[in-house]
Structure formats: C-alpha cells, structure tokens
Chains A and B, each alone.
Chain A
C-alpha cells in the first residue's frame, strides 16, 4: 500500500493505493494520528487506487472519523472502487460516511 498526502485548501487529501488490510491499516492509522496531532482535522480520503479493504481498514476510518468529529472537523471519502464499495455497503459504512464520486467534488464540501 502507498499513502500520499497533499494539503488542499481546508483539507488534507490522503490518497491510498493498493490494499488496506490488517497488514497495512496500522500504517494509515499512524499517519492520520500524526497529522491530527499537528492540528489537522479535515481529511479527504481518496480511494480511487485502493482495490481491497478489510475490517481492519474500516476500523481505522471509523477511528479517524470519530476523532475528527470531536475536533469539529470532518472526514470525506471519494472514488470507491466496486470491491471497496461492496464492503462498505455490507458493513453499513455507506451510511456513516459521506462519499463522493471524485476527489474534486468532495473538496468543494469542506
């Protein structure tokens, strides 16, 4: 898995490529927590290059959404691939998160 971060306007865009699973979710968690420690509270997680997510990845998303909400920020998601969208639907995460078709669209919402 590759993680790229980029500051855009009010949000930090995190692009994830590859698999977000029990082996890699810890890396994402660490990355997001360190960004939050520096005061970031708005995140756009772009999943256009992510083809797999397991519950380990979903838990990290849940954690960051809660922390961000406490800090009065928000976490938006964009460009879910079919596999990832299916897992979101099954886990009920499509109702928890605001999901956009593209990163550009999502950025307008911050």
Chain B
C-alpha cells in the first residue's frame, strides 16, 4: 500500500532522514518510536508531502507520489493526518470542521456530509458536541474531533503524529481508545508515539527510528522484549551510559573514579553498588597489557535496574579471563565476586569484555 525507497530529507546541511526504505501493507498498524529529533515526524510528513522529500521515492498504491504528473491533492486525501496540536478551525463548529473537507474536496452534498459527520462524531463519542466550538472542548475531545475530521475524508491510511503528546495525562486514554477502535476496524495506520504500552498492544509492527533510518523493526514482541541492536536496546530499556577512554598506562585512576562516582550518584545507585563498580573497573584494567586504546562503558538500565560493564581494549587477541593468562587469580576472584556473568570476544582488533554487574 505504501512503499518508500531511499527516502531522504535534508534541511540545509542537516540530514533528518537518511535512507528510509520500507513497505506497509493494507490493514497494518505501524508504531514509530524513537528519541526526539530522529526523523519520526518528518517521515510521516513526507508521506503526505507536507514536507517535500530531498530524495528517494514514495509509492502509495503503486502511484509514484513524487512523479511530476501525480495528482498530489487526490493522493493526499487518501492519507489523512492527525497532528499533535489538533489543528481544528477555531471559528467553525465541530460539525463544520468535519464537513468542510468532504463538501469542498470530495464534492459531497451538505446533507450527506452532515449525516456522515454525525456518525463519525458518534464513533468518537462526541455526538453531543456537534454544535460546540473547539474552544469549548477539552484537549482529548479536540483530538477526537480531529480524528473524526480525518475519517470524514475517507482516508485509506491515517498518519498520527504524536496524537497524545499535547494532552493532559487524564485525556490520553480516551484518544488511544478511539485509535484502538479504528485499529480493530482494520484501518491502516502509522502512529508516531511515545506511549510504549500503547505501541506494544496495538501495533502489527514497530519501527524504531534513529540516525535518520528505520534502525530496527519488528513485531512488538521483538522490539520490546528482545531488541537486537544497541540503540534500540538503550531506548527500550532506558539505558544511561557512562563512557571513559584510556590511552596510556599512566591513566588517572582518581579522575576516572570521580566520574564513575558522579554517574552513580546521578542515577541514585547505592554506595555499595558504586564500590562494586569501582573495584570491578580497576580490576579489569589491572588485567590489561595494552593501554593504547581502551574504551570503558558502564550501562545502567533504568527500567530493570541492572548494570553492564564493557571494556574494549585494542591489541593482540587475548582473553584476560582465561585460565593461566594471569600470574595469579586474585583479580579474577575479585571480578567474579562483583559480577553475575562475563563474556569475552575479539572483534575489530579489540579484546572485548562484557560483565553483568551484581546489583546487590
């Protein structure tokens, strides 16, 4: 139904969408998640040409949207959009907001448009507000009107751009309930959202966007339970990271420790856990022989509360945890006491050690 190929969007030297290639079938419900500024809304806005792509192609039902002879307004009617900020006409009643498009653009009679609009207002639970003005409505009600207005144009797909972000938390559920109802009715939808539970429950597929691409996609189970790529995992698990680089054997242990302590304090890690980390980091460094390029990474998963420590050291392949490599096992014993699990890998000329840190 929708297909994009190498879609990109640049604003001057800033590339917001780098290369988005995907296919979306009829009836699919795609949730688009990811950090702010990673192109989620821009992607949606490109799909109905509110933003003109800088390159690539968009096909809707095999029609090339960017071809010169394409009837863009006609195509745009098929892709309704619901905005974060509702975008209702303040000087028109709720009913008039809904009938304006069908009368002017779809050529419907006023009576026909009125009847259909009232049905739609009933669908979103706002039939009694037909003659109210937008200013008389709550945020949640305004957004439901905006959804009904979108439906009045009989779209084949609806693009939701953070439909609940501007709402008071008490009003989020009423809007999500309407979107759920549309999902059950088989409407094709793309929803940019920060409501993770909603995305998990409603979607057929989830796109995690980062770096201007669909960085990872999968079923809600795949993305939320078992994300494969690093940034997806960090986003899903709300990972806080600490990084430190060492390039000589006379590194400043105390400067590093001070930064680790500040990191622990910032994320409210108990002093005992912080002590564990300091010992683990020092002992890991004591196992190293090549200090020319060592990267340390400490990751705290806010959602689960667990900690991971990674040490990547350039040099010849050697597993410092392997039996017989060290002259004694004192350091290894101390490391073992502070971790739940360890792994070693040699990749890209680097010895990589991964530790799951004991939380207690």
Query: Among A6-14, A41-49, A50-58, which stretch is in contact with chain B?
Result: A50-58
Contacts of B283 in A (CB 8 A): 54-55
Chain B CB within 8 A of A87 CB: yes
Contacts of A92 in B (CB 8 A): 333
Chain A CB within 8 A of B190 CB: no
Contacts of A71 in B (CB 8 A): none
Smallest CB separation, A41 vs chain B (Å) = 24
**How many angstroms between the C-alpha atoms of A97 and B174 in the bound complex?**
69
Name the residue of chain B whose CB is nearest to the CB of A58.
B330
Chain A CB within 8 A of B282 CB: yes
**How many angstroms between the C-alpha atoms of A6 and B285 in the bound complex?**
34
Chain B CB within 8 A of A22 CB: yes
**How many angstroms between the C-alpha atoms of A97 and B279 in the bound complex?**
22
Give the interface centre of B282, B283, B285 by most chain A CB atoms within 10 Å: B282
Chain A CB within 8 A of B63 CB: no
| CB–CB B333/A90 < 8 A | yes
| CB–CB A54/B328 < 8 A | no
Chain A CB within 8 A of B127 CB: no
Chain B CB within 8 A of A23 CB: yes
Check A54/B333 contact, CB under 8 A, given A23-B253, A59-B328.
no
**How many angstroms between the C-alpha atoms of A55 and B331 in the bound complex?**
5
Chain A CB within 8 A of B11 CB: no
Contacts of A5 in B (CB 8 A): none
* Interface residue tally on B, bucketed by range: 10 to 19
Give the interface centre of A21, A23, A54, A92 by most chain B CB atoms within 10 Å: A54
Contacts of B285 in A (CB 8 A): 22
Chain A CB within 8 A of B75 CB: no
| CB–CB A22/B282 < 8 A | yes
**How many angstroms between the C-alpha atoms of A23 and B254 in the bound complex?**
8
| CB–CB A90/B334 < 8 A | yes
Contacts of A54 in B (CB 8 A): 279, 282-283, 286, 331, 334
Contacts of B178 in A (CB 8 A): none
| CB–CB A21/B334 < 8 A | no
Chain A CB within 8 A of B1 CB: no
**How many angstroms between the C-alpha atoms of A90 and B285 in the bound complex?**
19
Smallest CB separation, B184 vs chain A (Å) = 57
Chain B CB within 8 A of A83 CB: yes
Name the residue of chain A whose CB is nearest to the CB of B282.
A54
Chain B interfacial positions (CB closer than 8 Å to A):
253-254, 275, 278-279, 282-283, 285-286, 328, 330-331, 333-334, 337
Additional A-B contact list (8), CB under 8 Å, known A52-B278, A54-B331: A22-B285, A52-B279, A54-B282, A55-B334, A56-B286, A87-B279, A91-B333, A92-B333
